[in-house]
Amino acid sequence: MKSKNYIGKIKTITKINKDVYKLDISSALQDCKSGQFISVLCPNKTLRRPFSICDFDKENKILSILIKLKGEGTKYLSNLKENDEINFLAPMGNGFELFEDKKALLVGAGIGIAPLLFLKKEMKKKNITNYLVSGFKTEDEIIKGSDKTVVGGSVLDDIENIIKDKNIDIIYSCGPNIVLKKLSQTAKKLNIPCYVALERVMACSIGVCRGCIIKLIKNNEINNFSVCKDGPIFKGEEILWD
Ligand SMILES: Cc1cc2nc3c(=O)[nH]c(=O)nc-3n(C[C@H](O)[C@H](O)[C@H](O)COP(=O)(O)OP(=O)(O)OC[C@H]3O[C@@H](n4cnc5c(N)ncnc54)[C@H](O)[C@@H]3O)c2cc1C
Ligand code: FES
């Protein structure tokens, strides 16, 4: 589906934990898939802010995002009220690819759980076996919805055992680069495909400014790809990690 500019309305805004808010937005957006994101315009800010879609109610045309407070843009969004307007581009990016015959492990670190909650819902609809593990630094940062929640330690501490115990065929992950890099290396060692959702600071978010470029190695050739347009989902094994 081609991305367009929408003026949506805030349906509900809910405080999820100490610094995360859930925004339910009604708009004319007809469809989207997990792993895609929206790019939100904030007043007095030239650059739009990207947020993963964490749910989409197709019948009522309501999309949801989770906003973790960071700077001025996220502060503005967390202060929106019911019926306030919100200007965004959607759906952006490629989204996750689903495989109906593969047992999936979903690994989220912190706010990286956002696109995985939507992915889990899509997998449930298609009867795809899945197991979502998420990790948070402290109790008051927990975002609910996982099959297993790790607090304090690394979400990767027990990951090899989980992969083996649950006969995992494929991995999907979102979180800080260091987690995605290590998980991709583990997946490669175990010969399991691993899709990662990358986060990069974005300027245009439509593939024009070249500000979000990463390098991928495919068929022994290294080429540049943009996270906003070609991604944000990539195969971990193809990324030339920093
Ligand atoms: C594909 C994608 C999906 C994302 N999904 C989510 C999500 O579901 N929930 C969530 O809370 N955050 C998400 N982020 C991060 C979010 O976009 C930033 O936290 C947000 O833009 C910060 O804006 P700010 O004005 O509050 O912060 P500031 O630090 O004031 O932002 C200044 C500039 O840097 C950019 N920026 C700052 N931090 C980031 C970052 N981590 N990633 C990308 N750009 C950044 C901003 O867009 C802005 O242009 C996602 C980022 C990407 C690229
Ligand atoms: S943000 Fe401009 S090319 Fe990706």
**93, 37 contact by CB (below 8 A):** yes
pLDDT for position 224: 96
Asked whether 200 lines ligand 1 (CB < 6 A), one says yes
H-assigned helices in 61-165: 72-78, 113-125, 159-165
Choose one of 49, 212, 230 to mutate for the ligand 2 pocket test, by most ligand atoms within 8 angstroms of C-beta.
212
Q: What is the second-level CATH architecture of the domain 199-242?
A: Ribbon (2.10)
Tokens (6 digits) for 15: 């405080």
Taking only the tens place, the pLDDT of each residue in 45-70 is 889 999 999 999 999 999 999 999 99
Kindly give the number of the ligand 2 atom that is closest to the alpha carbon of 202: 1
Tokens (6 digits) for 19: 């610094």
172 has a pLDDT exceeding 90:
yes
Kindly give the number of the ligand 1 atom that is closest to the alpha carbon of 198: 1
Identical fold, 4-92 and 96-197: no
**64, 26 contact by CB (below 8 A):** no
H/E stretch holding 115: helix 113-125
CATH value of 96-197 in 3.30.70.2190, 3.40.50.80, 3.20.20.70, 3.40.50.150: 3.40.50.80
Tokens (6 digits) for 113: 């759980």
Ligand closest in space to the Cα of 227? 2
Amino acid at 16: I
CB count in 10 Å sphere of residue 24: 19
Kindly give the number of the ligand 1 atom that is closest to the alpha carbon of 54: 8
CATH number of 4-92: 2.40.30.10
Taking only the tens place, the pLDDT of each residue in 147-169 is 999 999 999 999 999 999 999 99
Expressed in angstroms and rounded, the spacing between residue 49 Cα and the centre of ligand 1 is: 6
Q: Residue 200 and residue 28: Cα distance in Å, rounded? A: 27
Q: Residue 48 and residue 147: Cα distance in Å, rounded? A: 33
Asked whether 111 lines ligand 1 (CB < 6 A), one says yes
- 218 forms bridges with which residues in the sheet? 221
Domain assignments of the chain as residue spans, ordered by start = 4-92, 96-197, 199-242
Region 213-217: mean pLDDT is: 96
Give nearest CA residue, ligand 1 atom 32: 71
Taking only the tens place, the pLDDT of each residue in 7-35 is 999 999 999 999 999 999 999 999 999 99
pLDDT for position 2: 87
Band (pLDDT 50/70/90 cuts) for residue 130 is very high
